[in-house]
Every structure is written in structure tokens, then in C-alpha cells.
């Protein structure tokens, strides 16, 4: 669900934006060049690849307005929502099928530099500018009926805020990739806890950047035109903001554009930066799009792995990880599935489903983690994962139920209703099985050594 939910933000940020589309597309050959450089031409030269990547990114950003001003290039790079909704799944297919070292790894590495750089600059910019927050503490939509996400603050806030608070996608990706990238288990504390704090800082900075906008301007950006018209609001500074960044800003939901506008406002409030609004805006869009596409290609690859494993139970050939027909066919199936949902959906239907799936997965990770603690005879620590896990089960299921009843059913979106119900039922089965296992484990008093020599309450099968 992660590629499905995040892709809509890129689609809405880049449609009819040749400058933004060019800078984001430029990151792909740059990442390929870095991969070839590090793994073939100058094997292991990370510093050289980093310098090449950063310099080329900067040049791509500078070249953006000239590309957008060129009639031929602008015509090719001015893409509609539907065109982008096809192109992004095609990218996901390619990224999930290509070797990790060629595109995914250098692109992730590049996006890390971008992300850390932007966070540091944004923290410094906010501290220096000390912007006034224009958004009211409470809006009329706290009980539901909002133009972006239709549900009430409780419980929808728990399936709307993901990465900055709780994320099942991070749990799955971290479980599969983090162990391969650390020198020892001691690094997990720094990497895991440090990443959690960083994500929290990003969430706070993003919230501040969005709240510097006047509410009517914020809703004009993040609501579709028909939904915004029902609010009977009038944009205040949106026209001036659009002219300063060189883009049409209204009707671009997903959060990426309002964040980029807020960041641009903060940065241009610094002395000598006033004339650079367009560059700051498109730099922010590039940062967000690259970050999101990193999640898209990683999520698609993990989805392909899972699909290969499932099909391997029926056709053992799929278990061969280097079998090209299996790689291509599962990548195609997975990207076609989430690509269809992106093509036919919008932010009000896509994000709640993504949020529910993501948070149910996070809850599952917490419950499984609790089970592992109990199994290892460390039940006294089980509350650290058990309490948030037990809290999120009813909250997320309630949000899923309300989303089905008040969002999908009135719109006749029966496919999304089916997905939601199946997901909730399957996760509920996992939770019940975990609770039964907790009861069984807590009745065992003596620990035994498993096949790895660790003391556990119960041996498990591989």
C-alpha cells in the first residue's frame, strides 16, 4: 500500500509542471551514473560518486527554468495527472526489477543527502525567521467533513500521520534491509532510535512549514477545486505565491506542494533570498519527490519479494530469486495493482486506505515484537511494545470501519471496501493468534536453549 499512497503526492505535485518534472526525472540517470561509477568504473569510490551526484543535482535544479522556458522541452515535460499516474508505476516496475546496486541503492543514498540537508536548513530557517503560524489551533473539520480527509480527528489522525509517528512500512523495510547494512547489533540503537527521532523532527518541521500558510490558501492547495468551492473561502496570497514560484498551485492535494510553498516562504524570508523563491520551491519539490520515489521503489521491491514467495508455494520456480521471468512477472503484477489504484483514485480515497494498511502493519509489528519478547523470557519488557500495539488495534480498526461506512460506501467504491475488509479481517486473525500465543508462553516457567543457543520459552520451526 505504501507505493499506492505516496505516489499520489508526486502525481499532484508534478502535473503541468515542466520544471518540477525535469528536476525529478534528472535524478534517475544521475542515480544510474552513480551506481555504475561506484560498482564498475571506480569500485567502492563512495566519495567520488557523492560529489558527482550532488553537483549534477545542483546543475539540474539550475537548468530547470531554462528547460521549462524552451517550447519543445516544455511540451514534452508538461504531463497530465493520468500520464504521471502511468509513468510512476512504470518507474516502480523498473526499479523493482533492476539490480539493487544500479538504481535503488544510489538513489536512496542520494535522497539521504537531500533529506538531511533539507532538515538542517529548515530547522535553521525556522529558528532564524521565527514565522507566524497562520493556521488556527482548531478548524471546523475536527468532527469530520473536511475537504481533504473526510473523517474526524479521532480516530483518523492515527491513520493520517504515518512516518513521523508510527509506520508499518518502516518496520517491514527496516526488518529486511537494516540488518544487512549495520556492522553489529549495537548499531541498531543508533540507527533505529536515531531514525525515529529524525522522522519526528521532519514531521514537526513539515507541520510548521504548512501552518505558515493562511488557512484559505492551505485548503486551496490541498483540496480539489470542487471540494474547495464548497468551503466558500477565497485565497489570500495564493496568486502571489504562485507567481513567485512559477507554478499554478491550486488543486494540488497530497501535502507536497503546501510543504514546498511553506518551505519556500521560510527560506525567502532570510536576507538575500527573496528573489530565489522559485528555486527554493522546486528544490523542495525535488527533495520530496525523490524521497517519496525512494519509498516507492523500495516498497515495490519488497512487494515483489513477497509475491514471489507466495507464488513459490505453488510454482517452486518462483523461489529462485534470480529467475528473470519470475522477477519480471511479479514486478509487473504488483506495480499494475497499485498503479491501477493510483490512476483511478484521489487523495481522499487513497490516503485513508494507505494509512489504515500502514498502521495495521505497524500494529502487527508491535504485537509480533511483544510475542518475541515474551518468548525470550523477557515479559517484563513486553509493555514497551505491547501497550502501543494494544492501543492501536481498536483505534485503527475503528478508523477503517468509519472510512468504509462514511467514505467508500457512499461513493460506491466497492473495490476499496473489499480491500479494507479483507485487510482488517486478516490482521485481526494475526492479532488473535498472537494473543493465544501470549497466553501459552506466559504459562511456561522454564526456558530451554533453541537451535541457535538462545534461551527461550518455546522452540519454533524455521
- Determine, yes or no, domain membership for 414: yes
Which pairs with CB-CB distance under 8 Å and at least 24 residues apart come from 234-243? 237/213, 241/217, 241/265
Per-residue model confidence (pLDDT) at position 459: 58
**pLDDT category, 39, cuts 50, 70, 90?**
confident
Q: In which band, very low, low, confident or very high, does the pLDDT at 299 lie, cut at 50, 70 and 90?
A: confident
Structural domain total, the chain: 1
Could you report the per-residue pLDDT of 198-226, keeping only the tens digit for each? 888 888 888 888 888 888 898 899 888 88
The answer to whether the beta carbons of residues 30 and 53 sit under 8 Å apart is yes
Per-residue pLDDT tens for 141-171? Answer: 888 888 888 888 888 888 877 776 778 877 7
In a domain, 152, yes or no: no
In tens, the pLDDT along 323-345 reads 888 888 888 888 888 888 888 87
Residue 156 is predicted with a pLDDT of 86
Q: How would residue 453 be classed by pLDDT, with cut points 50, 70 and 90?
A: low
Give domain status of residue 462, yes or no.
yes
Give me the DSSP letters along 157-173.
HHHH--TTT--HHHHHH
Residue 53 has pLDDT above 70, yes or no: yes
Rounded CA gap, 357 and 343, in Å? 19
Q: What is the pLDDT of residue 3?
A: 57
- The answer to whether position 4 is within a domain reads no
Domain residue limits at 400? 346-462
Q: Closest Cα to residue 265, out of 250, 245, 248, 246?
A: 245
Domain-located, residue 79:
no
Q: Is residue 155 part of a domain?
A: no
How confident is residue 352, by pLDDT bands cut at 50, 70 and 90?
confident
State pLDDT tens for residues 251-272. 888 888 888 888 888 888 888 7
User: What is the rounded average pLDDT for all residues in the chain?
Assistant: 84
The confidence score (pLDDT) of residue 176 equals 61
Give 1's pLDDT tier (boundaries 50, 70, 90).
Answer: low
Say which residues have a Cβ less than 8 Å from residue 71's Cβ, sequence separation at least 6: none
In a domain, 317, yes or no: no
For residues 393-404, give the mean pLDDT.
92
Q: Left if phi > 0, otherwise alpha if psi is -120 to 50, otherwise beta: which for 290?
A: alpha
Distance CA 409, CA 295 (A): 30
Say which range, 17-26, 61-70, 270-279, 355-364, has the weakest mean pLDDT.
270-279
For residue 71, the tally of other CB atoms under 10 A from its CB is 7
- Whether the per-residue pLDDT at 461 is higher than 70: the answer is no
Asked if residue 332 lies in contact with residue 366, where contact means CB atoms within 8 angstroms, the answer is: no
- What is the structure's pLDDT at 105? 75
Task: Classify residue 439: in a domain, yes or no.
Answer: yes
Amino acid at each position: 500500500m505504501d507505493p499506492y499512497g505516496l505516489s499520489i503526492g508526486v502525481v499532484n505535485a508534478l502535473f503541468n509542471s515542466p520544471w518540477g518534472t525535469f528536476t525529478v526525472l534528472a535524478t534517475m540517470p544521475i542515480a544510474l551514473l552513480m551506481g555504475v561509477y561506484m560498482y564498475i568504473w571506480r569500485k567502492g569510490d563512495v566519495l567520488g560518486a557523492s560529489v558527482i551526484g550532488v553537483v549534477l543535482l545542483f546543475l539540474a535544479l539550475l537548468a530547470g527554468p531554462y528547460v521549462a522556458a524552451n517550447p519543445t522541452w516544455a511540451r514534452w515535460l508538461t504531463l497530465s495527472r493520468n500520464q504521471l499516474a502511468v509513468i510512476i508505476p512504470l518507474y516502480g516496475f523498473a526499479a523493482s526489477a533492476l539490480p539493487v546496486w544500479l538504481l535503488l541503492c544510489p538513489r536512496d543514498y542520494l535522497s539521504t543527502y537531500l533529506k538531511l540537508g533539507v532538515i538542517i536548513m529548515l530547522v535553521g530557517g525556522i529558528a532564524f525567521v521565527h514565522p507566524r503560524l497562520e493556521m488556527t489551533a482548531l478548524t471546523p473539520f475536527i468532527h469530520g467533513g473536511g475537504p481533504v480527509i473526510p473523517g474526524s480527528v479521532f480516530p483518523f489522525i492515527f491513520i493520517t500521520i504515518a512516518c513521523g509517528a508510527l509506520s508499518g512500512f518502516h518496520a517491514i523495510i527496516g526488518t529486511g534491509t537494516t540488518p544487512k547494512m549495520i556492522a553489529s547489533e549495537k548499531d541498531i540503537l543508533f540507527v533505529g532510535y536515531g531514525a525515529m527521532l529524525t522522522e519526528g523532527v521532519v514531521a514537526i518541521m513539515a507541520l510548521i512549514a504548512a501552518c505558515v500558510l493562511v488557512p484559505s490558501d492551505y485548503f486551496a492547495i490541498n483540496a480539489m477545486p470542487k471540494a474547495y468551492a464548497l468551503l466558500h473561502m477565497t485565497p489570500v496570497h495564493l496568486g502571489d505565491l504562485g507567481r513567485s514560484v512559477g507554478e499554478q498551485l491550486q488543486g494540488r492535494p497530497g501535502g507536497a506542494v503546501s510543504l514546498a510553498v511553506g518551505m519556500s516562504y521560510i527560506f525567502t524570508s532570510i536576507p538575500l533570498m527573496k528573489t530565489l523563491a522559485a528555486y527554493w520551491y522546486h528544490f523542495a519539490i525535488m527533495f520530496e519527490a525523490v524521497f517519496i520515489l525512494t519509498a516507492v521503489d523500495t516498497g515495490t521491491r519488497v512487494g515483489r519479494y513477497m509475491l514471489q514467495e507466495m507464488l513459490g508455494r505453488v510454482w517452486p520456480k518462483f523461489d529462485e530469486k534470480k529467475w528473470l521471468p519470475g522477477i519480471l512477472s511479479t514486478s509487473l503484477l504488483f506495480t499494475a495493482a497499485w498503479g491501477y489504484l493510483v490512476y483511478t483514485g484521489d487523495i481522499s480515497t487513497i490516503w485513508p486506505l494507505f494509512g489504515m494498511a500502514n498502521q495495521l502493519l505497524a500494529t502487527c509489528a508491535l504485537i509480533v515484537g511483544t510475542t518475541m519478547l515474551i518468548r525470550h523470557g523477557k515479559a517484563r519488557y513486553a509493555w514497551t511494545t505491547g501497550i502501543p500495539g494494544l492501543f492501536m488495534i481498536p483505534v485503527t480498526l475503528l478508523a477503517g470501519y468509519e472510512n468504509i461506512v462514511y467514505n467508500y460506501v457512499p461513493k460506491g467504491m466497492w473495490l476499496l471496501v473489499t480491500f479494507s475488509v479483507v485487510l482488517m479481517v486478516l490482521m485481526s486473525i494475526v492479532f488473535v493468534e498472537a494473543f493465544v500465543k501470549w497466553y501459552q508462553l506466559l504459562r511456561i516457567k522454564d526456558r530451554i536453549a533453541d537451535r541457535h543457543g538462545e534461551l527461550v520459552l518455546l522452540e519454533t520451526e524455521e
